């Protein structure tokens, strides 16, 4: 009887292990995906970010919008890594060398933003999955910054073309 209980326990343990490892979440839309990611990520508002900037805190400010969006206006000191290539550039020595910056440490404070916040939530979750432990996203993104601090931004005028490409990513 004891042998049967042990075998049954072992079989059930293997079953639950296999089931839990094979959970692929399917979403009916991107908002569901963003909502789930938001549960495991932290945020910061523009006033808190401005305080960090004013205090000279050591942060990596990352804009995950597309280059045409970034070049039209961005928060001073931000580095542009579009959401679509984040996984490929974040640990790429050549990218950081070209940007004349050091590759971020896994525990470095990283603040991620996009136009309104959805891409930055997904980017923050991705960075966490890649082992970065001190990542937050900017609530309401660039649009909130632009409304709150309309005179504090930079542009890459030499990078702007005739076709700005419009907003990318739906957020």
The most distant pair of C-alpha atoms in the chain lies apart, rounded to whole Å, by 79
Query: Domain-by-domain residue ranges, the chain?
Result: 28-159
- What is the pLDDT, as a whole number, of residue 157? 78
114 catalytic per annotation: yes
CATH class for the domain made up of 28-159: alpha beta
Catalytic-role residue among 64, 111, 114, 122: 114
Name the CA dihedral angle for 110, 114, 117, 119, rounded to a multiple of 10 degrees.
Answer: -90
Query: Among 66, 59, 40, which residue's Cα sits nearest to residue 142?
Result: 66
* Residues whose CB falls within 8 Å of the CB of residue 54, separated by 6 or more in sequence, listed in order: none
- pLDDT tens digits for the chain (171 residues)? 666 776 666 666 666 555 555 456 899 999 999 999 999 999 999 999 999 999 999 999 999 999 999 999 999 999 999 999 999 999 999 999 999 999 999 999 999 999 999 999 999 999 999 999 999 999 999 999 999 999 999 998 777 654 444 555 555
Q: What are 88's strand-pairing partners?
A: none
Chain centroid to Cα 4, Å, comes to 49
- Encoded tokens for 150: 């309309």
40/137 Cα distance (integer angstroms): 11
């Amino acid at each position: 009887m004891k042998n049967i209980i042990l075998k049954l326990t072992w079989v059930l343990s293997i079953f639950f292990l296999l089931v839990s490892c094979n959970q692929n979440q399917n979403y009916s839309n991107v908002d569901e995906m963003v909502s789930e990611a938001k549960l495991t990520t932290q945020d910061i508002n523009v006033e808190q970010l401005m305080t960090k900037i004013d205090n000279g805190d050591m942060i990596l400010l990352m804009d995950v919008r597309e280059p045409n969006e970034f070049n039209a206006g961005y928060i001073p000191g931000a580095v542009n890594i579009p959401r679509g290539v984040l996984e490929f550039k974040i640990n790429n020595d050549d990218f950081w060398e070209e940007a004349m910056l050091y590759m971020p440490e896994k525990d470095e404070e990283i603040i991620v933003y996009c136009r309104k916040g959805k891409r930055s939530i997904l980017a923050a979750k991705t960075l966490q999955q890649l082992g970065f432990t001190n990542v937050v996203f900017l609530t309401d993104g660039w649009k909130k910054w632009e409304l709150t601090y309309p005179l504090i931004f930079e542009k890459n005028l030499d990078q702007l073309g005739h076709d700005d490409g419009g907003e990318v990513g739906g957020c």
